[in-house]
Amino acid sequence: MAFLDHINACNRHDLSKFLPFVVAGERIGHIRHDMARRLAAFPAVFRRSGGAVELHPALTSPDERSLALDEVCLELQRDWGTPRLRGERYRVGRRLNDPPLMSVDRGVVSLFGLRAYGIHVNGLVRRPDGLHLWIGRRALDKSVAPGKLDNMVAGGQPMELTLHENLRKEAAEEADIPASLAATARPVGAIAYCMEDEWGLKPDLMFCFDLEVPADFVPRNTDGEISDFQLMPVAEVAERVRHGDDFKFNVNLVLIDFLIRHGVLSPDLEADYAELVAGLRRGA
């Protein structure tokens, strides 16, 4: 296992298995061929056009498109066992802050290969013996990566919130961080990757933040998604990422980025340094 293995694992996909997904003339996703065949049963919502799957142009408003997509997804879930709707809406557009073409339920984002956005917060503590990170362990009932290690705070980006509003919400829910402390989180960049999952494609973009917390602060989960926290020396974090699979798959990328930015990884000593830097934006 090496740092670069984690980046490669988050970028395994074969676009030949997918067709472009077009909405209002914009390619905003990819749909697997078997999914495209299923969607042919909904000609009022989807049509094949020039080697792509297109949301029907008769659906002209974001609300019309969102409702039509939801209705199809409910039928697919009932008849085919696709992921259930989870009641959290994601913005759909070419970029995060573009006017939305529609919204989609979080549960079915990968069915249509839509870019999902999220926030990841590194909770760091400076101690006399060096830099430490607060690391959470995901609850065993999580549908994704149960029991794996995670950032102090992380979450998907719902459409009705700004990134900083979402950060404050997730910080309160996941780690009981006061709003005044969460407001000091510093944006430090973004990480992009593109991987296949069971149902489709995940071209995700994670906005990263560093939040320095006081030495006497101890995070406490309030929403049941994290079972416990541990304060881990950064050197141990680096070794566990480099040699193991303890962390949720995409959290490895956030931590590699942290290690690069804080000088823990050196271009003189890390043979894959340039590939790591480039690989963290491979899915952009």
pLDDT by residue (tens digit) across 149-174?
999 999 999 999 999 999 999 999 99
Per-residue pLDDT, averaged over 86-90, amounts to 94
Q: Are residues 93 and 180 in the same domain?
A: no
* pLDDT, position 284: 66
Q: Is residue 284 part of a domain?
A: no
Q: Are residues 124 and 192 in the same domain?
A: yes
8 A C-beta contact, residue 251 and residue 150: yes
**Beta-bridge partner residues of 54:** 22, 47
Q: Are residues 122 and 256 in the same domain?
A: yes
Query: Structural domain tally of the chain?
Result: 2
| Domain interval for residue 62 | 15-112
pLDDT (tens digit, 9 = 90+) per residue, 109-137? 999 999 999 999 999 999 999 999 999 99
Q: Is residue 221 part of a domain?
A: yes
Q: Are residues 207 and 245 in the same domain?
A: yes
pLDDT of 71 strictly over 80: yes
110/114 Cα distance (integer angstroms): 6
pLDDT of 1 strictly over 90: no
* pLDDT, position 283: 78
* CA dihedral (99, 104, 110, 111) positive or negative: negative
Q: Are residues 108 and 142 in the same domain?
A: no
Q: Is residue 188 part of a domain?
A: yes
- Domain final residue, candidates 112, 135, 164: 112
Q: Name the pLDDT band for 66 (thresholds 50, 70, 90).
A: very high
**Beta-bridge partner residues of 152:** none
Q: Are residues 239 and 148 in the same domain?
A: yes
Q: Are residues 101 and 212 in the same domain?
A: no
Q: Are residues 147 and 270 in the same domain?
A: yes
The owner of tokens 């043979």 is 271
User: What average pLDDT does the chain have?
Assistant: 96
Q: Is residue 174 part of a domain?
A: yes
